[in-house]
Amino acid sequence: MQVFKEIAGRVCAAWALVTFMITFLLVLPFALISYLFSEPASTAYFIRVSKVWMHVWFFLIGCRIRIRGTGNFKKGIGYVVTCNHNSLLDIPLSSAFIPGPNKTIAKSSFAKIPIFGWYYTKGSVLVDRKSETSRKRSIEKMKAVLRQGMHMCIYPEGTRNRTEALLKPFYNGAFKLAEDTGHPIIPAVILGTKQAVPLHKPFFFLPRTLEIHFLKPVEVNGRNTAALKEEVFGVMESYLSAHTEVEK
């Protein structure tokens, strides 16, 4: 049985890759229209296109999508959205299904990929982690995103969680951004992606239900970075612990 599962995982991974590339090429002309608009209308249009694309792609690869907690977003407020990070599927899931226009902090190296880089750049605040200048510039860009009424999505673990812990220790960036701007934080918990694309198996994918749960906002209320980080970590860790049955 395990042999059949391994074969199925590779076949499904190949199908997911092929359908991703085909649907990307089909949606790209519509996505590039977003460059004709000014912000935040530009990103709002881009996210609507992305959402349609992801609905189609996830359907083609056999993944059901379940979104909870969108009512925690209040109209006209830009939030710092913090997501756990387990898989390559996390970013397309979060970017497309965060309610309203949003951008994701992302590696600048991916923007160099031919053609895809145009799409990737539009939905991101790019940063070169090795460059102090780039990191400082990205902070100002994220503040601008929030000022324009958009949401800023950050993965505070920094990289995908390859440990047995529910969460890796958080970096300060998301919480310093909230402290500096006063914008509230919405913790977001992603479920299912770790099982769909296991980190320890190269080129492997099996369809399953993918979920993103948006939790109640954490207000800044004059608190510093350390206090905000501690509270959000605790909220997300407790929620993940309570939903471990979903992950099995």
Q: Where are the domains of the chain?
A: 2-247
- Tens digits of per-residue pLDDT, 207-242? 999 999 999 999 999 999 999 999 999 999 999 999
> Does residue 246 surpass a pLDDT of 60?
no
Q: What is the pLDDT of residues 134-148, one digit of tens each?
A: 888 999 999 999 999
Sheet holding 65-68, edge to edge: 65-68, 210-214, 185-191, 80-83, 151-154, 102-107, 124-127
Which residues lie below 8 Å from residue 41, measured CB to CB, with a gap of 6+?
none
Percentage helix, strand, coil, to 5, in the chain? 50, 15, 35
Residue 177 and residue 139 in contact, taking contact as beta carbons nearer than 8 Å: yes
The DSSP H or E segment spanning 198 is: none
Task: Please report, in angstroms and rounded to a whole number, the separation of the first and last CA atoms in the chain.
Answer: 18
- For the domain spanning 2-247, the CATH number is 3.40.1130.10
Dist CA 119 CA 50 (whole Å) = 10
Confidence of residue 248 (pLDDT cuts 50, 70, 90): very low
Please tell me the distance from the alpha carbon of residue 107 to that of residue 125, in angstroms, as a whole number: 8
Structure tokens at 84: 């756990």
Structure tokens at 44: 């709002």
Task: Report the range of poorest mean pLDDT among 94-103, 127-136, 179-188, 199-208.
Answer: 127-136
Which residue from 192, 174, 153, 191 is spatially nearest to 232, judged by alpha carbons? 174
Residues ≥6 apart with Cβ < 8 Å to 74: none
pTM of the predicted protein model: 0.94
